[in-house]
Amino acid sequence: MIGVFDSGVGGLTVLRGFLKDHPEYDYIYLGDNANVPYGNKSMETIYNYTVKAVDFLYSQNCKLIIIACNSASAQALRKIQQEYLPVKYPGLKVLGVVRPIAEEIARLKNIERVGIIGTKATINSDVYGKEIRNLDRDLEVFQKATPLLVSLIEENWLKKPETKMILKKYLRKLKVKKVEALVLACTHYPFLLKDIKRIMGKNCQVLDTEKIISDSLLSYLNRHPELGIEKKMNPQLKFYATDNVEKFKELGEFFLGREMEDIQKVVL
């Protein structure tokens, strides 16, 4: 069983990629919509929320957990990997979404300037900048917090002129810096991918983070058969939410692009 965790429904875009490319595995998705958003909360708070999510998913027999939330990946993942897992769950694995994207950036050729957009927590942590610079010190990294985009996407204001205006204003700084690649460091942002590509222009490569993370999962599973995560003829797909299940279902089906069944409420 593979667990996917996010502060709300944004991580369903990550799960969507998994289901599209690797539908033969069992998945559990946990959305902590009682505490969403994580992006404006402290590191300590985000860590505490994430630990509770990890505990729950391991109680459901998950052998691998993907933290699909960029804020949680930025503020909690390293501490969980280095301090929490060795004591509480030795041998079990929790992965984030930052490393595979940074590795993809490092593989790009003829790139000198990289842009990153995300929540305040993700940008302030500099987690992407650190990972990218660790892999390639010559790359210049320019970052921009874009906090309004999550709410606009969840309200399905994708085609509203106000959204396009705000997005254009946010991206102006990165266009001025002439970034040659752009990272969408929030699981909500793929919904704006076409508009972002249009605004950034043909000289900037906007990464398909959903595909990158999906490919990274398969690569990891192939390298770690000892986890015992096997393909199934009739794979399971379960959903858990920490608050309003009806609202979670309505918004979640928009993000996942398919009907969601068997959603259960859980208190962490």
CATH of the domain at 41: 3.40.50.1860
Model confidence over 159-217: pLDDT tens digits? Answer: 999 999 999 999 999 999 999 999 999 989 999 999 999 999 999 999 999 999 999 99
Residue after which a domain boundary falls, among 170, 192, 208: 208
The span from the CA of 261 to the CA of 213, in Å, is 24
115: left (phi over 0), alpha (psi -120 to 50) or beta: beta
Confidence of residue 3 (pLDDT cuts 50, 70, 90): very high
Q: Are residues 225 and 242 in the same domain?
A: yes
pLDDT in tens, 63-81: 999 999 988 988 899 999 9
Q: Are residues 103 and 189 in the same domain?
A: yes
Expressed as residue numbers, the domain containing 252 is: 2-96+211-265
Angle between helices 12-21 and 209-223 (to 10 degrees): 60
**CA neighbor of 241 nearest in space, from 267, 215, 222:** 267
What's residue 125's pLDDT?
87
Residue 237: which of 12, 9, 6 has the closest Cα? 12
Domain boundary among 208, 223, 255: 208
69, 97, 149, 183: which is the annotated catalytic residue? 69
62 as an active site residue: the answer is no
Exposed / middle / buried, residue 59 (Cβ in 10 Å: 0-12, 13-18, 19+): exposed
> What pLDDT does residue 36 have?
86
Q: Let me know whether 198 and 145 are in one domain.
A: yes
Half-sphere exposure (Cβ direction) of 42: Cα atoms closer than 13 Å: 3
Minimum mean pLDDT range among 39-43, 46-50, 245-249: 39-43
Domain check: are 247 and 166 in the same one?
Answer: no
Say what the pTM is: 0.90
Q: Are residues 86 and 121 in the same domain?
A: no
* Count of domains for the chain: 2
Same domain, 115 and 74: no
Q: Clarify whether residues 221 and 142 are in a common domain.
A: no
b/e sequence 95-121, b meaning 16+ C-beta within 10 Å: bbbbbbbbebbbeeeebebbbbbbbeb
Q: What is the largest CA-CA distance in the chain?
A: 51
Identify whether residues 166 and 228 lie together within a single domain: no
- The answer to whether 204 is a known catalytic residue is no
Is the same domain home to 106 and 177? yes
> Does residue 12 sit in the same domain as residue 91?
yes
Question: Choosing from 114, 186, 204, 241, which is the catalytic residue?
Answer: 186
Same domain, 47 and 135: no
From CA 130, how far away is CA 54, in angstroms rounded? 25
Q: Which of 163, 192, 208 is the last residue of a domain?
A: 208
Interatomic CA distance for residues 126 and 143, integer angstroms: 8
Gap between the Cα atoms of 7 and 3, Å rounded: 13
**25 plus 44 within the same structural domain:** yes
